[in-house]
Amino acid sequence: MRDTKAGQGRLISADLGRRVLSFGNKRSHNMIFICALLALVACATGQAEVDFITLATVWPQSDCEVHKHDTCTIPASTNTFTLRGFWPDNFGGEYPVDCEGEEFDITQLQSLVPLLEQLWPNVLEDGTNEELWKEQWDRHGKCAVEAGLFTNQETYFSEALTQVVRYNAFQTFYYRFNVNCQYLSDPDRFVLSELQVCFNQTMSPIDCYIDGDHTSYHTHGCDVTGEVLYLPIQH
């Protein structure tokens, strides 16, 4: 079924990018506390430390358009930004991946599966949902646990779901978030692809900076002089 509900897809101008990018005026002094806490965590565990965690959300229709050669299926229940990942991160850009940890075990996630299917679907036919969740757990989730942010895979996945429900897309305007676009050549246009929200150690949203001085941030691929399309979702 093609769902092209009027109003769901709409044009947003480059103003979005500019507004987003100007949200950095709000200065925060949280870093001192984060660093103090990190020192404790590092002392206690001797393990990987991270400055914050990024919730990467993706506009699923953009994935479909970008990978036109693949079959793309957006679940009927999915009408929002979905999860790309929940990634431990550091100011300065070096982030831990592929840590040691407990093996992915879907039986520990049974109560979360319906929401995971809706909010963390693998829309491309290149693998199953479970393969995607396992890959994300192996690459990022284990490091989030090693850094002391979560106790196990159940709390990691359930926190990702909680935050994507709470901060889906434009509810995040108060904080500076990362915006990524994709360029499509046929027809020639930019589409909104990802929004990323950042959280501190206690899962409060913080401005997404990539350095401790709060002067640098990521934005990728958006044409800030032209329009950026926000595509209607097609099921």
Ligand X SMILES: *[C@@H]1O[C@H](CO)[C@@H](O)[C@H](O)[C@H]1NC(C)=O
Residues forming the site for ligand X (CB under 6 A) = 30, 33-34, 37, 200-202, 204
Q: What's the closest the beta carbon of residue 203 comes to ligand X, in angstroms?
A: 8
Choose among 150, 77, 74, 153: nearest CA to 110: 153
Residues 117, 129 contacting (CB under 8 angstroms): yes
Q: What's the closest the beta carbon of residue 204 comes to ligand X, in angstroms?
A: 3
Phi-psi region of 38 (alpha: psi -120 to 50; beta: other; left: phi over 0): alpha
For ligand X, the closer CB: 191 or 206: 206
Q: How far is CA 19 from the centre of its chain?
A: 19
Q: What's the closest the beta carbon of residue 195 comes to ligand X, in angstroms?
A: 20
For ligand X, the closer CB: 29 or 68: 29
Q: What's the closest the beta carbon of residue 32 comes to ligand X, in angstroms?
A: 9
Q: What's the closest the beta carbon of residue 206 comes to ligand X, in angstroms?
A: 6
For ligand X, the closer CB: 2 or 29: 29
Query: Can you spell out the DSSP letters for 62-131?
Result: HHHHHTTTS-B---TT--S-EEEEEEEE-TTS----S---PPP-GGGGGGGHHHHHHHS---BTTS-HHH
For ligand X, the closer CB: 37 or 113: 37
Query: Can you spell out the DSSP letters for 19-67?
Result: HHHTGGGS---HHHHHHHHHHHHHHHH-S---SEEEEEEE-HHHHHHHT
Q: What's the closest the beta carbon of residue 158 comes to ligand X, in angstroms?
A: 19
Structure tokens at 85: 């990942």
Q: How far is CA 152 from the centre of its chain?
A: 19
For ligand X, the closer CB: 128 or 204: 204
For ligand X, the closer CB: 120 or 156: 156
